[in-house]
C-alpha cells in the first residue's frame, strides 16, 4: 500500500532530510542548539526504521512498495547526514565516499540481480545490519559533537565509530559481491 502507517513512517524519514540539513542553516539557533536539534531529529527519524518494519508485520501491512521504499529512505537519511558531516568537517571525505559509494554499488547490484531473478544471492546479511547499526550510532554522535552526560566525547567516539562503519561497509560490500559472483560469471559468458 502506498499510504498506510508503516509506509508513512518511511516517508517521514525522507521528509526529515531537509529538516536535519536545514537546522545547520538556521541563524536563529546557536551551534550547540543546531547540533542538538539535528541529533534529536536524526535519532527520532532513525527509530522510524525499526517502527515501520515492526508495524508493517504486526498490522499485516507489508507491501512490495514498502519493501522498496524502506532501504531507499535509510540510504537517503544516512547519505544526507554524512554529506552534512563532511561539510562541517566532522567526518572525513573518504568515509563519505566509502559509505555512499558502497550504497550506490550494492543498490545497483541488487537491482541487476532482481532483473536476472537472483535476489537471494544478495539478500540482507547480518554484516550489513551491523554496518547500519554502527552508522546509526556514529552519525548522531558526530551531529551532537560535544560532551554527553559530562563524560562521553561524542566527537571522538563518533570518529571511531564512523571509521568502524567504513570498514564494515567495505566488508559487507565484499561479502555481497562474493555472493553475487557466481551469477555475474554465469551471465558474463
Judge whether 165 and 96 are in contact, CB under 8 Å: no
Domain count, the chain: 1
Q: Quickly list DSSP for 118-177.
A: -GGGG---HHHHHHHHHHHHHHHHHHH-SEETTTEEHHHHHHHHHHHHHHHHHHHHHHHH
Look up the CATH number of the domain holding residue 34. 1.20.120.1760
- Distance, CA of 89 to CA of 92 (rounded, Å): 7
Cα 29 to chain centroid, rounded? 26
**pLDDT given for residue 189 in this prediction:** 66
- Distance, CA of 96 to CA of 103 (rounded, Å): 11
- Distance, CA of 159 to CA of 68 (rounded, Å): 31
- Distance, CA of 29 to CA of 146 (rounded, Å): 16
User: Any idea what DSSP says for residue 3?
Assistant: S
Q: Would you say the C-alpha torsion 169, 174, 178, 181 has a positive or negative sign?
A: positive
- Segment-wise mean pLDDT, segments of 10 residues, the chain, 189 residues: 81 91 93 96 90 84 82 91 96 96 90 78 81 95 95 96 97 90 78
Exposed / middle / buried, residue 117 (Cβ in 10 Å: 0-12, 13-18, 19+): exposed
**Residue 98: enclosing H or E segment and its boundaries?**
helix 93-115
**Which structural domain range is residue 136 located in?**
5-188
**pLDDT given for residue 1 in this prediction:** 57
**pLDDT given for residue 114 in this prediction:** 81
Nearest to 84 by CA among 34, 15, 148: 34
Amino acid at each position: 500500500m502506498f499510504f498506510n502507517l508503516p509506509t508513512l513512517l518511511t516517508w517521514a524519514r525522507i521528509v526529515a532530510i531537509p529538516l536535519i540539513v536545514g537546522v545547520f542553516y538556521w541563524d536563529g539557533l546557536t551551534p550547540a542548539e543546531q547540533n542538538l536539534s539535528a541529533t534529536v531529529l536524526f535519532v527520532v527519524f532513525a527509530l522510524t526504521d525499526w517502527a515501520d518494519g515492526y508495524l508493517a508485520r504486526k498490522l499485516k501491512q507489508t507491501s512490495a512498495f514498502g519493501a522498496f521504499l524502506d532501504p531507499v529512505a535509510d540510504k537517503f537519511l544516512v547519505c544526507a547526514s554524512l554529506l552534512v558531516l563532511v561539510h562541517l568537517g566532522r567526518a572525513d571525505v573518504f568515509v563519505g565516499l566509502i559509505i555512499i559509494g558502497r550504497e550506490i554499488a550494492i543498490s545497483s547490484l541488487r537491482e541487476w540481480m532482481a532483473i536476472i531473478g537472483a535476489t537471494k544471492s544478495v539478500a540482507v546479511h547480518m554484516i550489513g545490519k551491523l554496518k547500519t547499526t554502527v552508522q546509526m550510532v556514529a552519525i548522531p554522535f558526530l551531529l551532537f559533537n560535544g560532551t554527553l552526560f559530562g563524560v562521553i566525547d561524542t566527537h571522538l567516539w563518533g570518529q571511531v565509530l564512523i571509521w568502524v562503519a567504513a570498514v564494515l561497509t567495505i566488508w559487507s560490500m565484499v561479502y555481497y559481491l562474493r555472493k553475487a559472483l557466481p551469477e555475474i560469471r554465469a551471465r558474463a559468458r
